[in-house]
Chain A
Amino acid sequence: METQHNSVPKTIWAGASIGFIFLLVPFVGLSQRAPWSSFVQIVTEETVLRSISLSMIVATCSAFICLILGIPLGWILAKADFRGLKLVRAIVLLPMVLPPVAGGTALLFALGRKGFIGEHLDSWFGVTLPFTTAGAVLAASFVSLPFFVLSIESSATQLDSRLEEASLNLGASPIRTFFTISLPLLRNAIMAGIALSWARALGEFGATITFAGDNPDQTRTLPLQLFVALETNPERAMIIGVLMVMISLSVLVTLRGNWLVQK
């Protein structure tokens, strides 16, 4: 540890400190203004409890979707080589930089009741996604999938391929090699990806309110509850904000801290 400290120039330390303080200060502001005495009372209100459980359902389902779709996608981006790969990568990362409201609108045009796919879902199967919990899951998955894919891709690029080669040379099929050799090696990246995409899904607001609307029983997750509270009862908004910070921080510390940073 000591030698590591000494090798980092003071200027870098100074820059890092400013950066860290910049990120920290808003949370200090939030926690010192929050009316802590009413924390338990607000958090146990029925509407807030409903939002907490909805948020958990949405974030967990969305992390699961990211897991199923993100592993193959991240793997292809890391390992495959084809024309247009760069474009594919850029499109995969698009939801990270796009304003979520734009993402939500785009989802409406595709999967809404009058969207080019959504209209068939509606007329053939009677499935309508907007304004449902499923729609909220979809919106959250759309914005959090890139976080999962990035995690897998960066880890898969650095993977030592000798074990996989050995497995193939010994006669194992590529798919068996993937599941028995590659996937276990990606374990850390997968856990980190789950943590990141789960936390991102938990905080999702713009795409959700645009695509899934605001329905108290179906789609009013914690961020939407916070938005409504901000305009009616700022104290409530602060408590919900503090609650979200606590949930996200604990998820990121326990999951991401342990798995992503390999020391």
Chain B
Amino acid sequence: MKLFIHVSLGVILLMSGLSCSESDSSLRVLAASSLTEVFQEIASEFEKDTGIQVTLSFAGSSSLAAQIEDGAPADVIALADEETLTRVKQSGRLTQQEEIIFATNYLAIATPIGNPASIGNISDFKGNITAVCSEQVPCGHLANELASFLKVEMEVTTWEPNVRSVRTKIELGEVDAGLIYVTDATNQVEIISIKGSESVKTKYPIAAVDNAKPSAKDFIDYVLSPNGQETLEHFRFGAPQ
């Protein structure tokens, strides 16, 4: 019994040691929630091409910015707007190089299938249960920008921490409508495009964090390469201008 315990302890230690060293060698990429599927795809293509392991973690851009400011280990950061990246720069962890815009995106109205509340535009939010991203995340910032561009009052029931929780609440039918990125459309929601919204765009910047592994640059280059751009286009992201 004692031997068994010793052996299994040894195995556990060995395995945790191995898994630690593995995650040490892999490239750590922090990316905005809206990039979840497309970056998983890009990362697996990149891994196939270069053999470099990529560890992805997704959250609202402002959460990622806060993580970076607090010193979270990361090599590459990809956010959903430039303002948030400017904030990260002020923390002094992105001094090496200029950020590069790699994609653009814009908002659309999403409703549960069948659009039970007959939502046609943002002014129809009034009197209904609606979800929009919280103001501190890019999609919330963009939503406010869009509302003022269209000169409409936007009535919001719940300010969600990221665009995916907005979509989830629409999918579950808990809200009548919400604003999500056009790239977040699934067959679980109905999309109603907003006239003029494609001119209120957010730009996605990507940058290497200070003291990043050399492969960080390779990853960024891959995202900007024809292959990476094709994948982004496939997921309906707009090209960087």
Known contacts A108-B174, A131-B158, then 17 further A-B pairs from the complex at CB < 8 Å, ordered by chain A residue: A112-B173, A112-B174, A113-B174, A131-B129, A131-B157, A209-B161, A213-B159, A213-B160, A214-B159, A214-B160, A216-B159, A228-B134, A231-B62, A231-B63, A231-B65, A231-B136, A232-B136
What are 5 A-B pairs at a CB distance below 8 A? Answer: A108-B174, A112-B174, A215-B156, A232-B62, A232-B136
Question: In chain B, what residue has the closest Cβ to A119?
Answer: B173
* Separation of A209 and B134 alpha carbons in the complex (Å): 12
Choose from A114, A219, A227, A232 the contact partner of B172 (Cβ within 8 Å). A114
* Separation of A112 and B169 alpha carbons in the complex (Å): 10
Q: Which 5 A-B pairs have the closest CB atoms?
A: A213-B158, A231-B62, A114-B173, A232-B136, A214-B159
Q: Is the CB of A227 within 8 A of B161?
A: yes
B residues 133-163 with Cβ under 8 Å of A? 134, 136-137, 156-161
- Distance (Å) between the CB of B225 and the closest chain A CB? 32
- Distance (Å) between the CB of B153 and the closest chain A CB? 16
Task: Check A215/B174 contact, CB under 8 A, given A128-B129, A232-B62.
Answer: no
A residues near B, CB below 8 A? 108, 112-114, 128, 130-131, 209, 213-216, 219, 227-228, 230-232, 234
Q: Is the CB of B172 within 8 A of A108?
A: yes
Q: Determine the chain A residues whose CB is within 8 A of the CB of B60 once the complex forms.
A: 231
* Separation of A227 and B131 alpha carbons in the complex (Å): 18
Question: In chain B, what residue has the closest Cβ to A233?
Answer: B136
Q: Is the CB of B159 within 8 A of A215?
A: yes
- Distance (Å) between the CB of A122 and the closest chain B CB? 10
**Range for the number of chain B residues in contact with chain A:** 20 to 34
Check if B66 is an interface residue, CB within 8 A of chain A.
Answer: yes
* Separation of A130 and B131 alpha carbons in the complex (Å): 12
Q: Determine the chain A residues whose CB is within 8 A of the CB of B169 once the complex forms.
A: 213
| Residue picked from B62, B137, B156, B158, most chain A C-beta under 10 Å | B158
Q: Determine the chain A residues whose CB is within 8 A of the CB of B65 once the complex forms.
A: 231
* Separation of A108 and B129 alpha carbons in the complex (Å): 15
- Distance (Å) between the CB of B92 and the closest chain A CB? 15
- Distance (Å) between the CB of B194 and the closest chain A CB? 22
* Separation of A214 and B162 alpha carbons in the complex (Å): 12
Q: Determine the chain B residues whose CB is within 8 A of the CB of A228 once the complex forms.
A: 134, 136
Task: Check A230/B66 contact, CB under 8 A, given A213-B131, A215-B159.
Answer: yes
Q: Is the CB of A112 within 8 A of B159?
A: no
* Separation of A112 and B69 alpha carbons in the complex (Å): 36
Q: Is the CB of B66 within 8 A of A231?
A: yes
- Distance (Å) between the CB of A243 and the closest chain B CB? 20
* Separation of A209 and B65 alpha carbons in the complex (Å): 21
Q: Is the CB of B136 within 8 A of A215?
A: no
Question: In chain A, what residue has the closest Cβ to B159?
Answer: A214
- Distance (Å) between the CB of A247 and the closest chain B CB? 24
Q: Is the CB of B136 within 8 A of A114?
A: no
B residues 36-83 with Cβ under 8 Å of A? 60, 62-63, 65-66, 69
